[in-house]
Amino acid sequence: MFLPTTRAEMTQLGWEEADVIIVTGDSYIDSPFIGAAVIGKILHQAGYRVGIIAQPDITSPADITRLGEPRLFWGVTGGSVDSMVANYTSLKKKRRSDDYTPGGLNTRRPDRAAIKYTNLIRQYFKGTAPIVLGGMEASLRRVAHYDYWDDRIRGSVLIDAKADYLIYGMGEKAITELAGALASKSAVKSIRGLCRVANEAEINELRGEYLELPSLEQVVASGDSFTTMFKQFYVNNDPITAKGLFQKHDTRYLVQNPPALPLSQAELDDVYAMPYERAQHPYYQRLGKAKALETIKFSIQTHRGCYGECNFCAIAVHEGRTVQWRSEASILAEARRLTEYTDFTGYIRDIGGPTANMYGFECAQKLKRGACADKRCLSPGVCPTLKADHSRQISLLNKLRRIDGVKKVFVASGIRYDMVLSDKQHGEPYLKEVIRHHVSGQMKVAPEHSEPRILKAMGKPGIESLLKFKAEFDRISANAGKKQFLTYYLIAAHPGCTAADMRKLKQFISRNLRINPEQVQIFLPAPSTWSSVMYHTGKDPFTGKPIFVEKDLKNKEGQKEIVTGRDAPHQPPKRATKTTDRSFVRKH
């Protein structure tokens, strides 16, 4: 069932009031891919009465007041995408479209939505129930962070919004614990995955147990202090090893409890077994269809988290560096449910996660002791302790395509080719399986650049593995009698990258990949990423050495045009590839 979004629906359910009202920057799509829907369903399953208000008009009380006031709390999220990233391009131009808004026009999501929605609630509900922030925007802005659009360090969104609590990361456990605590009027201060505001007296009780970050005043004044702060923040994101954190903001303190523990596989399976409508709520569909539904309705998420840790990506900060995967039985059951929809045509649009081929294996040491503080799983090379193993995914794909009513299952999420090559036993069989049965003419990979210095700044593997993978892809495709090609994600104007580097990239693409990209992403410094630290400070945060940062918008666009320009040298008359410019959620 849909969660109610109107007073009439609440009346039909026999509710006089809701326990929780979720306010979101997306249209209400009841799907396991939409965070507000997942959290709403989790709370509903736990016995709470949950309503949803999607994309309320911030100039009027009509939307925000229509469900009344909740008994326990308001849940506020900017939506599936940070509202500033959703509203503006890398060149700070207003986006015309929004896949999560009815009709596709970018007209309903306000800038800094978490702040605007909190202010809207307080405007019409004085002394209201607690307001709890969550979702991507809150998660990535929970401590002091660099904001590209203001070009300055901003404080925690919890304090800026004057909300009561903030749930960060994947919030299923934290939100149910918080709801239970508020319902029983018990303490909430120790809930993992929760941020709150404290005074000096409370902080004195935490000293020694929690780690103090450099204050907001210090990180605003000094780039080196900001780098130190971010390093401490980043390494304390692992649920096994993390300490709680606190950071002074003027006379108050932000307190971040350690992250919530990961869901067990059974708990993760339960999240996806809930009865989602996989549709847009009729109240909002009458305003127009949300384009996102075209992709996610008949797609399946197999896992969450990412150990790729690309420096420009925030998935590691939001979903975590430990990959959690669903059972094969859970995924197959979801695929069978898809075949029961009258508009299902036999095609599963995507089977994957942040990176398609991270399903089914993790580092055994990480699962026991937490993520390494001094090294990464995939950079500068695949760690031998990780032991990439694609056997579970081969088995899963093989069984999915044999389900009655399923014609084809596409692997549309990007693939980490370095992991495929590192799996000496199952890497090639996996690639054969995908090429022969799960590719729609093209496979997505993300080299991002060709120059070693830039790839190091990005946290990406070298081009040697890309070329070896391309040769394997071409060979297997030819043997299978299929004319298929690779689609390459590329980035311009990342910290460290100059126009000369882009000319070298152009030459590499033309000579080795034989394509002419029509669209290349211009780097976007998203909150709480290593690359945004580089962009703000002009230094490599790992070495302390200066790094070139292109900040002129025309020059950024010029870097892109070096690669996309039709009159550039070494141009092959071949096909094009496209990318997105929402780098903070860039997968793989």
| Binding-site residue set | 306, 310, 313
- CA–CA distance, 460 with 450 (Å, rounded to integer): 10
Number of C-beta neighbours around residue 480 at 10 A = 14
Annotated binding residues for [4Fe-4S] cluster, as ranges?
306, 310, 313
**Which residues have CB under 8 Å from 486's CB, separation 6+?**
442, 443, 444, 445, 470, 473, 513
3-state SS of 218-276 is HHHHCHHHHHHHHHHHHHCCCCCCCCCEEEEECCEEEEECCCCCCCCHHHHHHHHHCCC
* Under 8 Å between Cβ of 300 and 335: yes
- CA–CA distance, 523 with 271 (Å, rounded to integer): 34
Residue for token digits 């190091």? 456
* Under 8 Å between Cβ of 454 and 312: no
Burial of 286 (0-12, 13-18, 19+ CB in 10 A): exposed
Question: Looking at the chain, how many residues does it have?
Answer: 588
Handedness of CA 445, 446, 450, 453 (dihedral sign): negative
Q: What is each CA distance from 157 to 109, 128, 249, 335, 465, in whole angstroms? A: 17, 19, 11, 38, 40
Cα 139 off chain centre by: 10
- CA–CA distance, 579 with 485 (Å, rounded to integer): 15
Report the helix count and the strand count for the chain, using DSSP H and E.
24, 22
**Which residues have CB under 8 Å from 542's CB, separation 6+?**
none
Of residues 438, 391, 431, the one with CA closest to residue 412 = 438
Q: What is each CA distance from 201 to 10, 205, 214, 281, in whole angstroms? A: 43, 7, 18, 46
